[in-house]
Chain A
Amino acid sequence: MGTTIFDIGEEGRSALRLPALDVPEKNLTELIPAEFIRKEDAKLPQVSQIEVVRHYTKLSRMNYGVDNGIYPLGSCTMKYNPRINEDTARLPGFASAHPLQGEELSQGALRLMYELGEYLCAIGGMDAITLQPAAGAHGELTGMLLIKKHFERTKGLHKRTKILLPDSAHGTNPASAAICGFEVVHIPSDSRGLVDLEALQAHLDDSVTGIMLTNPNTLGLFETDILEITRLVHDVGGLVYYDGANLNAIVGRARPGDMGVDIVHYNLHKTFSTPHGGGGPGAGPVAVVKKLEPYLPVPRIVKDGKKYSFDYERPHSIGKIHSFYGNFGVLVRAYTYIRMLGDAGLKAVSTNAVLNANYLRARLSKVYKAPYDRICMHEFVLTTKGMSEELRTLDVAKRLIDYGVHPSSIYFPLIVPEVMMIEPTETVSKEELDQFADALIKVAQEMKENPQILKEAPHVVPVYGASVRRLDDVRAAKEPILRG
């Protein structure tokens, strides 16, 4: 364990033969001044091709992905990633197209982006969209910049400094707002787990730029007062930003645009099945209502008759937020997925995502405490608080590894102590849900009967997917070793 590619191989080995130099070779110093030339080669591994393939195959076996089993990270929507999406994204016309080859040679790519934008606007009930943001947080930043531009244009920026955030928000929300210099004001949740309307009203005045809202929220609950919330925020001249991380719960049956929101971001790597890749790439398109369209990043993709083109002539645009047009390869995958599902498929997604979550909730809330024990949306939270003096949710999660399933998100949202946040998605079968529930119920029993076995979990390693026992985070923080 712990072996890196630097630990294998021998001096002089290589895994790739380069094409021969078929032009006369000049002395390097004729082409580049000697002082600019590297003195020592970068210390890279020296391995043959089979060693590379075996090393990374070995590393892959030390991972657990959606392909291995249930992966119920809350608010991450770890659903199945259809392989056709990988094939379409790798078609040479997409994978080997250069971003600056010109509009007339890029009509297929432009059409795909234009149509995907239309589909996403239709799904969200919004008017216009940018596909540039490379991830959800990048979309949030784009949204904050749009809000800033709106108030700059309407001469309100000097007094409007605050952004309101429910205390159940993802950490990226406040971090994105802070980059734009907005002051973050946290709005508490009430006993229902929803935005506390009284607290919200107390903060609403003309110093507010708007509110960032995740709906359903991170407790897995639909903000039933959403229409009231958007009305109240609009009444003081604020804008409503809708974090679409949890769109999987409502896709195909309800639209943020019909809730009165002004800006919404979509996570294509969540709702629209593009693979998470160990942490990325994602894509975080941002859609807006008509009045904010002039501020969207350039270039916009426009259609004139049958011809598609880039529009850079947008004087009020916030500018560019990606080197080119966003994570195009991710857009191809999401396009493929949406076309395969169609309306009926999209509706089946939310139906089964919410059904699966509620089935798990129904089974597990008999054993763990569900702080908000009612019908949930696509995810729900449980807590281990009060179940044991000495054990924490972390121990429960690590013990689940011994049962061959991936733990849920833990310690988020911050407003529930010792929390587990569980999102099974629609692509898990009932048998797998039962296996996961059985494992968690068994662990609850072990909490009483054999706490030590939880404290020392995982035990089963090395097995496929799990290769080490519990790791020492504190040591990694105290004496960081960040390179070999």
Chain B
Amino acid sequence: MFEFIPNTPEDQRKMLAEIGLKDVQELFDDIPKEILNKFKPTSLEPLSEFEAKQLLSTLAQDNANTDDYVSFLGGGIYDHYVPSSIPHLISRGEFLTCYTPYQAELSQGTLTWMFEFQTMICELTGMEVANSSMYDGGSALAEAMLMAKNITERKKFLVARSINPHYWDCLKTYAWGAGLELIDVPFTEDGRLDRAFVQKEVASLAGLIVQSPNFFGVIEDLTGLKDAIKEAFLMVSANPISLGILAPPGVFGADIVVGEGQPLGNFQNFGGPLLGLFATRMSYVRRMPGRMAGRTVDMDGKTGYVMALQTREQHIRREKATSNICTNQALMALVATIYLAMLGPHGLRRLAEINLQKAHYLAERISPLPGFTLRFSGPFFNEFVVQSRKKPARILKALREDGFLGGIDLAPYGVLDGNNLLIAVTEKRTRDEMDRFVKVLKRT
């Protein structure tokens, strides 16, 4: 028998008797024979747990990973340290194996951490209300765009070309589906949004989408942007770790702040599961997508939590819902909650400072090297673009041979001319690793 299925033949016999059938096959009499007869199996034999583990280990060994390599890869997914407490806590079956808290009385654990998460995301972003997660940074940005469309009843969006091109691709797909118009905003020599371009396109604008730090690592100047676009929505995608030192987008009048929450204690997971962050102003709360926990009381007057404002959601509002999202990235949001609780306010600030300082240390050592220059003059956080004389593919190969995942070759994205490498530095990189990295670059 199968280890995940308790029924024995004897159980099956008793149950069939209660149902009034003789054979399990009769349970499927509603399926037309024509369909059953066409069935073809997969030809997979069952494996024991040991055999399955062996097989998966073999596959995993066929992948590089940031335990075996020293990684300078970023572009939205970063090699931050994941504290041991986190995988242990989220592996508790009561967190791992429950679902959406439809029965609030049996889900106070989930609802409480959702409430904590929402509070923390508000604090980080400087916004008034946050939901309990979206799929990832890209789809969170797309959902922000759809929300802005619904509120402004306009269809024209400006999108900074300096946002993560992976998010830009998602926006393009959603915009095509929803019949929206996207206009690319170019960036200037310092790597930041061309504000003059924005000024010219304000008429009948639904919203402006920017990212800070942007894809090139450069910190955008958000000052006065909201005033420039007036009633159109200012949507900012932010790296949550950077918000340990950077003024939150809420301060600059952002209407929606989104972001990729992977850096908050989540593994890189080859790009998923990730964590979409989403926060806005309280005045828009009934138009926002996603689940939220709200505080209330029980029959005895004790404090408790429930899913709040569910009338926005698809299971009630159906085609008039604010979004189609149902299953989200809850477990990743729990990770972020525990991570931020562990760091605390000073820890988060210090973590951001360490990332910033180390990234600048490396940038300063690369920029004097012959054949290498920093591409942009704007201020950056933990990531920067290096322009090289040689092809990035060659440089990355040399780095790989010395045990480095050296950065991202920007050629396939088509947003920059010439040879460009995007290099990220987290708190995990040591001075010794960075000095060795520079040595390899020198050799190439």
Contacts and interface: CB of A to CB of B under 8 A. Distances in A.
A19 B427 contact: yes
Given A352-B7, A355-B15, A483-B122, A280 B133 contact: yes
A48 to B, nearest CB: 9
Given A227-B35, A362-B18, A5 B40 contact: no
A18 B354 contact: yes
Contact of B94 (A68, A318, A397): A68
Given A16-B347, A471-B296, A276 B267 contact: no
B116 to A, nearest CB: 5
A50 B441 CA distance: 44
A155 interface: no
A33 interface: yes
A236 interface: no
A147 B11 CA distance: 45
Nearest to B361: A23
A36 B115 contact: no
B52 interface: yes
Contacts of B431: 22-23
Contacts of B122: 483
B322 to A, nearest CB: 9
Contact of B324 (A80, A108, A176, A482): A176
Given A137-B314, A278-B110, A339-B55, A28 B353 contact: yes
B6 A221 contact: no
Interface stretch (B26-34, B196-204, B227-235, B368-376): B26-34
Interface string A60-89: 111111111001010010111110101111
A82 B96 CA distance: 11
B133 to A, nearest CB: 7
Contacts of A107: 62-63
A276 to B, nearest CB: 4
A145 B44 CA distance: 32
A326 B15 contact: no
A14 interface: yes
A105 interface: yes
B153 to A, nearest CB: 14
A445 interface: no
A258 B344 contact: no
Contacts of A319: 169-170, 172-173, 176
Contacts of A176: 324
Interface string B317-358: 111110111111111101001101111111111110110111
Nearest to B61: A93
Interface string B299-320: 1101111101111011111111
Given A31-B356, A253-B28, A96 B268 contact: yes
A26 B357 contact: yes
A275 B97 contact: yes
A3 B109 CA distance: 10
Contacts of B245: 28, 32, 37-38
A61 B130 CA distance: 25
Contact of B308 (A355, A362, A398, A476): A476
A52 B86 CA distance: 10
Interface string B388-431: 00000000100010000100100010000000000000011011
B194 interface: no
Given A18-B427, A47-B344, A134-B329, A56 B338 contact: yes
B38 A358 contact: no
A85 B299 CA distance: 40
Interface string A349-363: 111101110110111
B20 A362 contact: yes
A302 interface: no
B331 A362 contact: no
A134 B273 contact: yes
- Chain B CB count within 10 A is highest, among A73, A90, A278, for A278
Contact of B285 (A37, A52, A346, A480): A480
Interface string A330-346: 10100110111111111
B325 to A, nearest CB: 6
Given A81-B97, A224-B32, A258-B35, A481 B295 contact: yes
B28 A354 contact: yes
A203 interface: no
A280 B328 contact: yes
21 contacts: A21-B357, A38-B248, A41-B346, A64-B94, A134-B136, A252-B41, A277-B334, A279-B330, A280-B332, A281-B273, A322-B139, A323-B136, A323-B170, A328-B273, A341-B46, A345-B46, A362-B18, A401-B105, A476-B306, A477-B308, A477-B309
Given A63-B109, A277-B334, 9 more contacts: A32-B356, A36-B221, A62-B108, A65-B98, A179-B324, A253-B28, A278-B110, A341-B44, A482-B118
